[in-house]
C-alpha cells in the first residue's frame, strides 16, 4: 500500500508493502501519472488517489501517533499554508487552517534562500523581526530594508523571524509547540519561535496516513 502526502512544493511517499518502509520525497513539479497512491493527503493529493483524507485530519492522526502527551499544540508549516491542531485531555480542542494570511510562507522562505544565495544554517537570530502578515506582503519589507542599507542576510532573517512569530500566534501562542513540515530543518525559523519548540520533521502527515491505513485494515 502506497501512501502520499502531496504538498505544494514537495511530495512525500511511504510504501507500506516494502520490507522496511522508509519515506522518500520528490519535488512536486516532477509528479506524474506513475505517482498514484492508495491514500493521499495534501494540496495536490486529490489528483493522485481515489481515497483522499483532508490534511487537518491527517495532521491530527499523525500527532496522536508521535506525541505521547494528551495535551499538545501541533503546527504544520507548509509551502502554501499553515495549520494547527490543539488537543486537551486527549481530544480535539481547537484547530486552524490559514491558506490566506499564511499564504506561500514556506515557499517564500525557500525562494529567498535561493535568490540571495543564503544558508539558513548560518544565519544568526536577528534582534527584532519585521512585522509581516504573510509571505507575499512581507517581500516588500525585505526590499525596502535592503534599499535602505540593511544587509540581505539580516533583512531575510528579520522576515523569517516575523513569519515564525505570526505562525506561533496563529497556533494560539502556546508555551510548547510541536512543529511539523519542511521548516523543521530551518534552524533560523525554529529558533525564531518564542517558546519551546519540538520539531517532528516533515513526515508527520505520512505517519497520520499510516495510522488511518492501519485503522481501516482492522
Partner 1 sequence: MNYNNVGIVGIPPLAIIQELNRHSVTIHDLDTPMIKADMELTTPYLPRVYCAILRTVVLNALHLTLDAIYIDVGPGKCDCALHVATVLEDMFAIPILTTINDDITGFGTPISQSRMGLLQKFERITEGVKNTIMPSEPPPACTPTAGFWGVPPRDFSILDLFPDTTHIYGWTRCMENKTPADHELELDYNPDIPTVFYAQSFCAKTALARHLALKHPHGLYLDSDVTAGGSAKAKIQAFLELSGVKL
Nearer to partner 1, 188 or 212 (CB): 212
Instruction: Work out whether strand 10-15 and strand 24-27 pair parallel, antiparallel, or are unpaired.
Output: antiparallel
Lookup result for grid cell 519585521: 130
Looking at the Cβ atoms of 60 and 163, the one nearer to partner 1 is 60
The reply to whether 8 sits near partner 1 by the rule CB under 8 A is no
Q: At closest approach, how far in Å is the CB of 114 from partner 1?
A: 27
CB atoms inside a 10 Å sphere around CB 144: 12
For the window 135-174, what string marks contact with partner 1 as x by the rule CB under 8 A? ----------------------------------------
Distances (CA, A) of 149 to 15, 62, 135, 146, 153: 50, 44, 22, 5, 11
Q: What is the DSSP letter of 131?
A: -
Q: Per-residue x/- marks for partner 1, 70-109, CB under 8 A?
A: -----------x-x-------xx-xxxxxxx---------
Q: Smallest distance from the beta carbon of 23 to partner 1, in angstroms?
A: 23
- Residue 73 half-sphere exposure toward CB, CA atoms < 13 A: 21
- Tell which positions 41-60 bind partner 1, by CB under 8 A: 54-57, 60
CA distances from 110 to 9, 156, 183 (A): 10, 11, 9
Comparing CB distances to partner 1, the nearer of 61 and 158 is: 61
3-state secondary structure of 2: strand
**What is the C-alpha to C-alpha distance for residues 168 and 31, in angstroms, rounded to an integer?**
32
Please say which residue, 33 or 89, places its beta carbon nearer to partner 1: 89
Cβ of residue 121: shortest distance to partner 1, in angstroms?
32
Q: How far is the CB of 115 from partner 1 (least distance, A)?
A: 28
Size of the site for partner 1 (CB under 8 A): 16
Q: How far is the CB of 100 from partner 1 (least distance, A)?
A: 8
Under DSSP, the state recorded for 48 is G
Q: Phi, psi at residue 30, to the nearest 5°?
A: -95, 5
Nearest distance in Å: CB 103, partner 1 = 11
Q: Which candidate, 92, 94, 11, 85, places its Cα nearest to that of 48?
A: 11
Smaller CB separation from partner 1, 12 or 83: 83
The single-letter DSSP state of residue 81 is -
Shortest distance (Å) from residue 92 CB to partner 1: 4
Residues at the interface with partner 1 (CB under 8 A):
54-57, 60, 81, 83, 91-92, 94-100
Amino acid at each position: 500500500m502506497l501512501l502520499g502526502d502531496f504538498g505544494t512544493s514537495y511530495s512525500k511517499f511511504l510504501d507500506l508493502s516494502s520490507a522496511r518502509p522508509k519515506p522518500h520525497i520528490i519535488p512536486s513539479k516532477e509528479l506524474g501519472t506513475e505517482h498514484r497512491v492508495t491514500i493521499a493527503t495534501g494540496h495536490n493529493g486529490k489528483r493522485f488517489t481515489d481515497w483522499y483524507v483532508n490534511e487537518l485530519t491527517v495532521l491530527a492522526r499523525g500527532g496522536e501517533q508521535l506525541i505521547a502527551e494528551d495535551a499538545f499544540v501541533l503546527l504544520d508549516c507548509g509551502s502554501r499554508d499553515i495549520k494547527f491542531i490543539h488537543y486537551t485531555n486527549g481530544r480535539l480542542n481547537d484547530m486552524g487552517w490559514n491558506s490566506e494570511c499564511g499564504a506561500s510562507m514556506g515557499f517564500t522562505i525557500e525562494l529567498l534562500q535561493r535568490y540571495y544565495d543564503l544558508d539558513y544554517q548560518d544565519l544568526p537570530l536577528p534582534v527584532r523581526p519585521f512585522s509581516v502578515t504573510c509571505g507575499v506582503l512581507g517581500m516588500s519589507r525585505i526590499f525596502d530594508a535592503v534599499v535602505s542599507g540593511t544587509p540581505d542576510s539580516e533583512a531575510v532573517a528579520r522576515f523569517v523571524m516575523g513569519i515564525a512569530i505570526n505562525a506561533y500566534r496563529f497556533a494560539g501562542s502556546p508555551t510548547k509547540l510541536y512543529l511539523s513540515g519542511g521548516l523543521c530543518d530551518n534552524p533560523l525559523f525554529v529558533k525564531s519561535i518564542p517558546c519551546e519548540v519540538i520539531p517532528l520533521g516533515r513526515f508527520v502527515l505520512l505517519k497520520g496516513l499510516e495510522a488511518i491505513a492501519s485503522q481501516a485494515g482492522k
